[in-house]
Amino acid sequence: MTQGTIRVRFAPAPTGMMHLGNVRTALMNYLFARQHGGTFVLRIEDTDPKRNFDPGGRVIIDDLTWLNMTFDEGPGVGGPYEPYLQSERTPHYEQIRETLEKSNKIYRCFCTQEELEKKRQRQQALRLPPRYDRSCMRLDQSDIDQLLASGKPFVWRLKLDHSISISIEDLARGTITFEMRNFSDFPITRQDGTFTFMFANFVDDLLMKITYVLRGEDHLTNTAGQAALYHAVGAALPIFWHMPIICNLDGKKLSKRDFGFSLQDLHKAGYLPEAINNYLATIGGSFSQEILTLDELVKAIRFDQQGTASQIKYDPDKLNWFNHQWLISLEPIELAQRCRPFLAEKYPRVEKIDDAALATLIQPLKSNMTTLVDSVTVLGFYFAHKDPSESDIRACTSPETRAAIAQIVTQNLDRLAEPTAFADHAKQAAREQSVPLKELFWFLRLALTGSSHGPAIAELVGILGPQESRKRIEHALELLGRIN
């Protein structure tokens, strides 16, 4: 493998949101190119205008940018094999089609869909493999001329050489051999004259000099046809890697019903691009170190030691673990900046707090966060405090300890300017008076946050400050006095 000669591509269709399967395909191509000093190409396969959800692939490009996967050639970047939108590459497809026609490697097929379906049903009834019977290949020129003159629509089919076998090299499976007698002549155009996915994909890979094709296992059925096309034009085949399909924990292919299927959903839910990349690159593998940056992944992944599993299982809990690890490792200011958009949506007044102050608020609480969205919950007590009720206080304290709790807290209010000292002295006094610490801390947490569960008392006092903390605690003490 010569350094600098490697060319790989990510070629999504802009027919929907990027999902985890797309992201992993892009990621593996990116890492492979970077590991071998090669070129990472983005090509948008937008030949179906009726299904194009994302004209020009703008959302795809934004997603790759967010994931920090920089492509070397592609829309907006350019490159020596422009254009990189399939919708603009029709002349290239026509040129190769003409080459195949001149070498008698393709033929016109005038069969209608109804006729093809009847032939398929008959073959099935006879327990024969459903393949095109080549009836149009046997038409003489006068019949073809007559059909063309009548305006009957047709497709061009590749004339497979059924006497040969074609082998490909796969990074995981080694040599895979296809016996062409087991395959049917397939169309390279549609009746409207546009080109099929299989043909356009082949032409682009050929002309863009793609040397490695890394894609999902579900494309393996296309590979025999594309290998036949390479053979038909006498070109060397790229090396393939048909990657395992990402499935849910039940072993079923991921769908919109599965959490995290869509990259946009993960983005909106506050997942970090670093965590998504890290998880998808290591899923199904074994690594001595799990938390890895993109640069570290480039060095760590062994593309020459890939297994032959047809699927890998996506575990949302494991993704959550990766995201938590990445979140708590962020520098305080960066974490604050990433949390800010989620906080601003819920609490507009966060815009009046600068990054340094926001970082001070978030740092003590980050261990309670799994995603950036969790900042909205953990800081809810700061931005949208809800005073406790008498019933809340009754629920977290017992009649025997309420008077002692009130006395302990009241005697230590002047220590609020030193949060750790306040918490330590209150704790010591509770032990001396045999007051359960959990009841004392439940009460204080309830007073400060409106909930009996959450961060440590010293952290809460430090975040709120002595003045706000005193105000909230005194209100809770007033309620405690009413029910005591």
CA distance linking residue 470 with residue 419, whole number of Å:
11
Look at residue 161 in the predicted model and tell me its pLDDT.
95
7-86+246-317 and 390-483 have identical folds: no
Look at residue 2 in the predicted model and tell me its pLDDT.
42
At the top level of CATH, the class of 7-86+246-317 is alpha beta
Look at residue 1 in the predicted model and tell me its pLDDT.
43
- Domain residue limits, the chain: 7-86+246-317, 89-243, 332-380, 390-483
Look at residue 454 in the predicted model and tell me its pLDDT.
83
Place of tokens 């907006």: 76
CA distance linking residue 411 with residue 429, whole number of Å:
10
**89-243 to CATH, choices 3.40.190.150, 3.40.50.620, 3.20.20.140, 3.30.470.20:** 3.40.50.620
Q: Kindly list the distances between the CA atom of residue 340 and the CA atoms of 51, 73, 348, 386, 406, in Å, as whole numbers in the listed order.
A: 35, 33, 10, 22, 37
Look at residue 371 in the predicted model and tell me its pLDDT.
98
Q: Kindly list the distances between the CA atom of residue 185 and the CA atoms of 17, 99, 333, in Å, as whole numbers in the listed order.
A: 33, 17, 60
Instruction: Return the closest-CA partner of residue 143 out of 110, 189, 102, 119.
Output: 110
| Contacts of residue 331, Cβ cutoff 8 Å, sequence gap at least 6 | none
Number of neighbouring beta carbons within 10 Å of residue 289? 8
Look at residue 470 in the predicted model and tell me its pLDDT.
97
**390-483 to CATH, choices 3.40.50.620, 1.10.10.350, 1.10.1240.10, 1.10.260.40:** 1.10.10.350
Averaged in consecutive runs of 10 residues, what is the pLDDT profile of the chain (484 residues)? Answer: 76 88 96 97 85 81 96 96 96 98 97 93 90 94 96 97 96 94 96 93 98 94 95 97 92 84 93 98 90 96 83 94 98 98 96 95 94 96 91 93 96 96 96 95 95 89 95 95 84
